[in-house]
């Protein structure tokens, strides 16, 4: 709101500094001295002059502030709406098309690691800091989160990320699914429920967000996606700074055409398994 107030006040000060100063000064003098009578013709004329002078200025200032401030502040809402319209329909089609593959993968996960669940649900941070459950096929042992603390000394990730190239927690089937990003297919459900579009920044963990630098929080201006510029530009081979730069670029330069290009590149990235760990 500071930008809005500054815009309005600057506009009023500029206008009052010329013709309006005489009208406002006369009105304020009468109000201060109590020499004002609403029924008096001269007072009515003065109030009408004041209103005729101020209303166009205030109206213009508010309209200008809405255009210049509102769009800058809330641009992501329109982007999310447009993105949702495009990706939800596409997501339904992809989910129906891949349903036989999803059934096979669910069976294989259970046979390979019968002790744990088929799906892995994890809290992730989404639009404007809201949290949601993101779903994947379970690719690790059931107690993977408990073992994470014991593996911190082997962490190869930079910044706030935790990454191990040859993570001992990953199951045999999980390693295959991760290579081709098959473990992420259940996130199509997140697309249908509106938590994620197909394309967007990487969905962060709450612990990662708490350690964000101030400018990195701009990643949360849009919903996180199943794939994104980070996915088609090196995946796990990227440094924290590189993936963050790509996510912020996406936030500030979103377009439907851009999403389509990313989706096309994702197909290539998945089949070549570049940067997959």
pLDDT tens for 21-54 read: 455 555 545 544 555 555 566 655 655 555 554 4
Query: Looking at 8-22, 79-93, 110-124, which range is the least confident one?
Result: 8-22
* Alpha helices (H) in 118-239, listed in sequence order: 144-148, 172-179, 187-192, 206-210
Reported residue count of the chain is 277
Q: Which residue has the higher pLDDT, 269 or 52?
A: 269
- The residue-averaged pLDDT of 65-73 equals 36
Confidence at 13, pLDDT banded by 50, 70, 90:
very low
pLDDT of residue 122: 93
- The residue-averaged pLDDT of 231-247 equals 85
Query: Looking at 27-31, 173-177, 214-218, 248-252, which range is the least confident one?
Result: 27-31
pLDDT, tens only, 131-160: 999 999 999 998 888 888 787 777 776 666
- The residue-averaged pLDDT of 156-166 equals 70
Q: Which residue has the higher pLDDT, 266 or 21?
A: 266
pLDDT of residue 51: 52
Contact 13, 57 (CB under 8 A): no
Cα–Cα distance for residue pair 58/55, rounded to 1 Å: 5
Quote the tokens at residue 55: 């209303």
Cα–Cα distance for residue pair 205/87, rounded to 1 Å: 23
- Residue written as tokens 């339904």? 92
Contact 177, 159 (CB under 8 A): no
Q: Which residue has the higher pLDDT, 189 or 91?
A: 189
DSSP 222: S
Beta-strand (E) ranges in 55-181? 119-125, 131-137
Quote the tokens at residue 69: 């401030």
Crossing angle of helices 172-179 and 71-112, in 10° steps, is 140
Cα–Cα distance for residue pair 105/188, rounded to 1 Å: 15
């Amino acid at each position: 709101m500071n930008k809005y107030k500054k815009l309005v006040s600057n506009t009023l000060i500029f206008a009052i500094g010329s013709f309006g100063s005489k009208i406002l000064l006369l009105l304020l003098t009468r109000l201060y001295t109590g020499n004002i009578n609403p029924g008096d013709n001269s007072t009515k004329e003065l109030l009408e002059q004041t209103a005729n002078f101020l209303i166009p200025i205030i109206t213009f200032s508010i309209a200008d502030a809405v255009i210049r401030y509102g769009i800058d502040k809330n641009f992501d809402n329109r982007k999310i709406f447009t993105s949702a319209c495009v990706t939800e329909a596409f997501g339904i089609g992809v989910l129906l098309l891949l349903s036989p593959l999803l059934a096979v993968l669910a069976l294989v996960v259970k046979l390979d690691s019968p002790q744990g669940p088929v799906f892995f649900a994890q809290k992730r941070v989404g639009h404007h800091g809201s949290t949601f459950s993101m779903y994947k096929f379970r690719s690790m042992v059931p107690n993977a989160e408990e073992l994470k603390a014991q593996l911190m000394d082997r962490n190869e990730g930079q910044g706030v990320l935790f990454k191990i190239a040859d993570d001992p927690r990953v199951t045999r089937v999980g390693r295959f699914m991760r290579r081709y990003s098959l473990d992420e297919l259940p996130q199509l459900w997140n697309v249908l429920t509106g938590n994620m579009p197909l394309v967007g920044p990487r969905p962060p963990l709450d612990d990662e967000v708490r350690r964000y630098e101030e400018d990195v929080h701009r990643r949360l201006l849009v919903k996180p996606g199943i794939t994104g510029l980070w996915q088609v530009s090196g995946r796990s081979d990227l440094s924290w700074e590189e993936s963050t730069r790509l996510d912020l670029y996406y936030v500030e330069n979103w377009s439907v055409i851009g999403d389509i290009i990313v989706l096309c590149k994702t197909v290539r990235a998945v089949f070549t398994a570049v940067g997959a760990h």
